[in-house]
Structure formats: C-alpha cells, structure tokens
Amino acid sequence: MSYSYVALGDSLTVGIGASFFLPGFVQRYQILAINELQEPVYVQTFAHPGFQSLDVLLELNNDLIMEQIKYADIITITAGGNDLIQAARKFEEDQNEEDFSIALKRCTDNYRKIIKAINALKVDSVNPYIIRLIDLYNPFPENPLAEKWIKKFNLQLKYFVKVPYILVVQIDRVFKGHEKDYLSIDGIHPNDRGYEKIAEALHHLGFGELSLDLEEE
C-alpha cells in the first residue's frame, strides 16, 4: 500500500527561503507522514512563487493536476498571502482600506471554489482523503494593518472546516513572537526552522481516516 500527496499553492509550497538543497515543508511533511503511516508517500507539487488564490484555482483546470488530485490521499494548500500583498501595494497608492476587504472577499471565494473543485474530482472516490489548509503568519508583526487583515483572513479560513477531513493548520500561532527565528533573510518567507515548524504543525493534526485504515489492518 502507498499514499499519494498533492501539494498546491504559492512560494511557501515551493519552499522559497529554505537553504540551498534543503527542503521546504512539503518534503519534511512527506517524511513525517511516511514515519506515521508506515507506508510510502509519493508527493506531487504544483506551486509557483507569486501565485494568488485565483492562480491556484485555475491550476485545477490542468488535466495532469486534476488526475493527481483525483487519486490523492493527502492535499495541502497554501494561498492568500500574495492576495493580501497585492492589496497592500494598492493601499499604498490610494490609502483605501477597502482594498483589503475586496482582496479578502475574492480570496475566500476562490478558496471555496478550490475546495468545491477538489471534492467534485473525488466524488466517486471510495478511499478517504484529507485536505489541510495552511493559514497565514504575519511577517510584519509591528504593522497593525497587517495584523488586522491577516487575522481576518485566518478567521475566514476556519469557515471551511465543516467536515472532518478538512482542517486548518494554524501557523500564525506557531510563528507569532518567533518571526526572527523562523523567517529567512528576506523577512517574508520561512527559513529552514520555519518550514520544519510548518511540517510539524501539519503532522500534529494527524491523518484522519487514513490512520484508521492502518488500525483496521
């Protein structure tokens, strides 16, 4: 028996900020999953730096990605950070905080469509699967505006936890107060310790019904 893991998202899923030749959270989580499930876990990563939530949604129109998701046991998603970054850049120009409200609404809607698309692809699946949504940490804790809208985003993300197989990984709690320890030299992306913490947080959520399968064996 083996498991399939599909990682969707932006630069966090790519692993930007990790040391040369060292993995981001995806490969680290893969290793933890192998140790927990005691079976091979094969990973496919579909992510690009700079991707916003809409870009992740559009990836689900790709035949290869659709096929991989159809048979995936584990799915992780990182998205939303670049949506807020673009809103912040627009805010710098017009000083209109409504820019963040618009970005948050669009991002929430895109997340809803992403999850709906994944569930549609797996509607005929007889095997259990889990989806893990990774919330946003704040690389600018001294900025009240950043704190406000990242908190709002993370609250919206919890809206999708309506079924047992979808859980939110609360990275914001893990990184808060440890930004200097967990962020890379660019001050935005995680460093090696940061990615290890993300992988550990994912692992701590468990593997849902995937673990139940092992117990039945």
The residues assigned a catalytic role are 11, 186, 189
Residue 23: CB partners within 8 Å, gap ≥ 6? 15, 195
Contact yes or no for 47/68 (Cβ under 8 A): no
Specify the amino acid at residue 32.
Answer: L
Specify the amino acid at residue 184.
Answer: S
Contact yes or no for 37/92 (Cβ under 8 A): no
DSSP conformational letter for 49? T
Q: Which of 88, 77, 76 is nearest to 147 (CA)?
A: 88
The residues pairing with 44 across neighbouring beta strands, listed in sequence order, are 6
Longest dimension (CA), the chain: 60
Please, what is the Cα angle at 11 between 205 and 34, to 5 degrees? 40
Residue corresponding to tokens 């469509």: 113
Q: Which of 63, 53, 73 is nearest to 131 (CA)?
A: 73
